[in-house]
Structure 1
Amino acid sequence: MLCQLLIRVIQLYQFVISPWLPPMCRYTPTCSEYAIQALRTHGLWRGLRLAIGRLLRCHPFHPGGYDPVPMPEQMKY
């Protein structure tokens, strides 16, 4: 339930706030889409950890590029 609420908040950001900002994402998929995919694939805690890690990597000194959400079997716990 909390996971779905967080996804809705991110979607609200995507549809209400993001269109007013200049495109600046260094990654594909975008950080907000990555967060939604991570939450849906891994659940609240792991998905949130992946999303926060992605946001921390999103800065001008990182090259960016294609960075998909890892599948559960690819995760090293």
Structure 2
Amino acid sequence: MRFVLTLPKRAMLAAIRFYRRYISPGLPPSCRFSPTCSEYAMEAIEKYGAVKGGYLAVRRILKCHPFHKGGYDPVP
């Protein structure tokens, strides 16, 4: 039963690890934040689970653009 309940969380973390391993190395560094958006997403999902952590990650990714100042933004 626990396997089923943690499946969304594990799937999201696997997708982020795939992105970090295979997609991100081919792109120029562009994250304006510390920790990076993918590090933030992994930490938020591990700490809060798929729903709240996913929400925090999406909110952070939407802030990562050239018009935002960036800076240090840890997971709450």
Q: Which amino acid aligns with 1:25?
A: C
Paired residue for 1:60?
A: 66
1:13 aligned to 8, 19, 22, which one? 19
Alignment of 1:1-77 (within 5 A): 1-70=7-76
Counterparts of 2:62 and 2:15, CA distance in 1: 19
- 1:59 deviates by 1.0
Gaps of 5+ in 2: 1-6
Identity of aligned residues (%): 51
Q: CA deviation at 1:46?
A: 0.5
| Aligned Cα root-mean-square deviation (Å) | 0.6
Distance 1:24 1:55 in 2: 12
Count how many residue pairs are aligned between Structure 1 and Structure 2. 70
Unaligned runs of 5+ in 1: 71-77
Taking structure 1 as the reference length, the TM-score comes to: 0.87
